[in-house]
Amino acid sequence: MTRMTGLLAATALTAASAPALAETWDMPLAYAATNFHSENAAKFAECVTSGTGGEIEITTHPGGSLFKGADIKRAIQTGQVPIGERLLSGHQNENALFGFDSVPFLATSFDASTKLYEAAKPKIEEVLAEQNLTLLYAVPWPPQGLYFKKEVNSVADMAGVKFRSYNNATARLAELTGMLPVTIEAAEISQAFATGVAESMISSGATGYDRKVWESLTHFYEVDAWLPYNYVMVNSDVWGGVSDANKTAITDCAATAQADGLAASKEYTQFTLDGLKEGGMTVGPAGEALVTELQGIGETMTAEWLDAAGETGAAIVDGFKGN
Predicted pLDDT at 22:
87
* CATH number for region 20-141+229-273: 3.40.190.170
Average pLDDT, the chain: 93
Distance CA 174, CA 102 (A): 14
pLDDT per position as a tens digit, 193-238: 999 999 999 999 999 999 999 999 999 999 999 999 999 999 999 9
Report whether pLDDT(6) > 80: no
Residue 7 has pLDDT above 70, yes or no: no
Q: What was the pLDDT predicted at 13?
A: 46
Domain 20-141+229-273 identical in fold to domain 145-225+280-322: yes
For the chain, the structural domain boundaries read 20-141+229-273, 145-225+280-322
Which of 106, 86, 119 shows the shortest CA–CA distance to 312?
Answer: 119
Give the Cα-Cα-Cα angle 287, 291, 292 (nearest 5 degrees): 120
The answer to whether residue 312 scores a pLDDT higher than 60 is: yes
323: confidence class by pLDDT, cuts 50, 70, 90: low
Q: Return the pLDDT at 186.
A: 86
Which of 200-219 are b and which e, b meaning 16 or more Cβ less than 10 Å from the residue's Cβ?
A: bbbbbbbbbbbbbbbebbeb
Q: Which helix (H) or strand (E) holds 140?
A: strand 133-140
CATH among 3.40.190.170, 3.40.630.30, 3.30.470.20, 3.10.20.30 for 145-225+280-322: 3.40.190.170
- Rounded to two decimals, the pTM is 0.88
pLDDT for residue 1 is more than 90:
no
pLDDT tens, residue by residue, 105-160? 999 999 999 999 999 999 999 999 999 999 999 999 999 999 999 999 999 999 99
